Structure 1
Amino acid sequence: MDEPSENISGGDAGGGVPADFESSDPGTRAEAFVDRLGDSYWRKAYGGQPAFECLVRTVLSQNTSDKASQPAHDALMARYGGDDLAESLAAADVDALAETISGAGLYNVKSKRLVALADRVREAYGGAAGFDDFVRESDPQVVRDALLDMDGVGPKTADCVLLFAGGRGGVFPVDTHVHRIARRVGLAPADADHEAVREALEREVPADKCGFGHTATIQFGREYCTARSPACLDDPDACPMGDLCEQVGVYPETGEVVDPSDAPEAH
């Protein structure tokens, strides 16, 4: 299987390296779900991305599509990339940076945020190289707490840095696709917020399968289990995960689709 042409939380620009993925006798429904995804989607090894660039990429992706954020990332790297991205961005003119990343949503907010993050990384870790060492070598919870203490860094952003830069096992970042699908399938409570979904998945999926589970669920969400038109709506056999799914909030008999938290069976 080839690496996705679209950026999947790091994607083809992230230097993905193919990795073996072994299905096994699953101990939980969540593990069975991830194992089934392993039959359909490309498997990669995680870790190795420069930590600060990974942080920048993930901030750029907030509230926008990969199609919009990837060109913004590429333009930023062309203008500010070099020996130390943190040093370059810390010294950047906010308006010039905003113009550079204008393809990404909320670019005025993000430009200010990126300059502030760069300044903090420079002061706290001595620059991008020191931040790399911190993300890869410190206790994962310490790293996560430090990231969450940064302005504009939420749980998904922190977890993507831990996974794609730190290569940490047992990290299952939750974006909108993962949040929707885990609750729709019944792997997490229908009314669970992003953090509750993360806790459920990291508890039920083996540590070495969490990273793949994240990227593959995103691909599955784009291809089959979309927010408004999941494949099972018209054809129960169209979805490869049908026998593992509780279809919370999906009603093929009426064609209705609601957020799992609004499904009658969730109350």
Structure 2
Amino acid sequence: MSDDSEPAENISGGVDGGGIAAEFDPATADTRTEAVVDRLGELYWQKTYGGQDAFTCLVRTILSQNTSDKASQPAHDELMGRYNSPNADLAEALAAADQPTLAETISSAGLYNQKSEVIVATAEWVLDEFGSAAAFDSFVRDGEPADVRETLLEVRGVGPKTADCVLLFAGGRSGVFPVDTHVHRIYRRLGIAPKDADHELVREVLERELPAEKCGFGHTATIQFGREYCTARKPACLEDPEACPMADLCDQVGVYPETGEVVDPADAPE
């Protein structure tokens, strides 16, 4: 169980994004995927989604690319402290930012030169296409999800996971399951997605096999499960098959307790 303080109720989409309460009962799951997410629902505190400012969420997700929350959160806090003010548009402030200064500000996030260039370019794009961060926020909240996703993917430095996080955490859209490295590894290791599936195929499988209101929680809870149990190199089942709460639902693709070997599921033999 995570020590993080979380709300006791999961509202997929947030109070302003639909207010759909998700129930978690593995005994009534229609698919193995749903049984996994339901068990995660019993393991971890549940979150509320939606309500974040879209441009701020986009910047935060760019900062988190290829690094941990522990490293990216201070960078986000420093950026917001320097560039965000109550009466200013954050997109305008970042579009006008001196790139080396911005890079120094977000240095704790890693790849700070590249990320600072992407953030400045993204802020310029928001202003060119929408006129302001507020108008971009309205587009993310009110636009057709497929159109929003397609538009975001046209932006340099914005990949599928970043686009889906903006849809989920800012747009409050149900049925969106962002796929990061934890999600990609775990659902192939479980045998739910094909062992050689790319991130997009894993996403398609999960969104197809889960009720829409469980996708948001499934994303965050899977990440927590990946940190605590199903790590890349030393999953809990490696030394004790009963140590993992998913033991009876997992195919252990690429995990070999008898030899202590762990490989990427894509490299596991047929």
Bin for the TM-score computed over the shorter chain: over 0.9
Work out whether residues 162 and 171 of structure 1, in 8 Å CA contact, stay in contact via their aligned partners in 2. yes
Shift of 1:31: 0.5
Q: Does 1:167 align with 2:172?
A: yes
Q: 1:70 aligns with which of 68, 73, 83?
A: 73
Shift of 1:127: 1.0
Residue in 1 that maps onto 2:38: 35
Q: 2:264 aligns with which of 253, 259, 264?
A: 259
- Report the 3-state secondary structure (helix = DSSP H, G, I; strand = E; otherwise coil) of the residue aligned with 2:39: helix
Work out whether residues 153 and 159 of structure 2, in 8 Å CA contact, stay in contact via their aligned partners in 1. yes
Q: After the TM superposition, which residues 170-181 of structure 1 pair with which residues of structure 2 at under 5 Å, given as runs? A: 170-181=175-186
The number of residues matched between the two structures is: 257
Work out whether residues 20 and 43 of structure 1, in 8 Å CA contact, stay in contact via their aligned partners in 2. no
Give the gaps of 5 or more residues in structure 1: 7-17
Residue in 1 that maps onto 2:117: 112
Quote the Cα distance in structure 1 between the aligned partners of 2:3 and 2:218.
15
Shift of 1:4: 2.9
- Report the 3-state secondary structure (helix = DSSP H, G, I; strand = E; otherwise coil) of the residue aligned with 1:38: helix
Q: 1:230 aligns with which of 221, 226, 235?
A: 235
- Report the 3-state secondary structure (helix = DSSP H, G, I; strand = E; otherwise coil) of the residue aligned with 2:243: coil
Read off the aligned partner of 1:209 and give its amino acid letter. K
TM-score computed with the length of structure 2 as normaliser: 0.91
Read off the aligned partner of 1:188 and give its amino acid letter. A
Quote the Cα distance in structure 2 between the aligned partners of 1:261 and 1:217.
19
Read off the aligned partner of 1:160 and give its amino acid letter. C
Quote the Cα distance in structure 2 between the aligned partners of 1:88 and 1:42.
36
Work out whether residues 33 and 206 of structure 2, in 8 Å CA contact, stay in contact via their aligned partners in 1. yes
Shift of 1:19: 8.6
Read off the aligned partner of 1:81 and give its amino acid letter. N
Quote the Cα distance in structure 1 between the aligned partners of 2:128 and 2:21.
39
Q: 1:94 aligns with which of 87, 95, 99?
A: 99
Shift of 1:20: 5.0
Q: Residue by residue, what CA displacement relative to the aligned partner does 1:102-159 show, whole Å, maximum 9, x if unpaired?
A: 1111100111110110011012111110011000000000000000000000000000
Q: Does 1:205 align with 2:206?
A: no
Residue in 2 that maps onto 1:4: 4
Read off the aligned partner of 2:40 and give its amino acid letter. L
Quote the Cα distance in structure 1 between the aligned partners of 2:4 and 2:22.
16
Read off the aligned partner of 1:53 and give its amino acid letter. T
Work out whether residues 186 and 248 of structure 1, in 8 Å CA contact, stay in contact via their aligned partners in 2. yes
Work out whether residues 97 and 111 of structure 1, in 8 Å CA contact, stay in contact via their aligned partners in 2. yes
- Report the 3-state secondary structure (helix = DSSP H, G, I; strand = E; otherwise coil) of the residue aligned with 1:109: helix
Give the 4+ runs in structure 1 shifted more than 6 A.
Answer: none
Residue in 2 that maps onto 1:123: 128
Report percent identity of matched pairs. Answer: 72
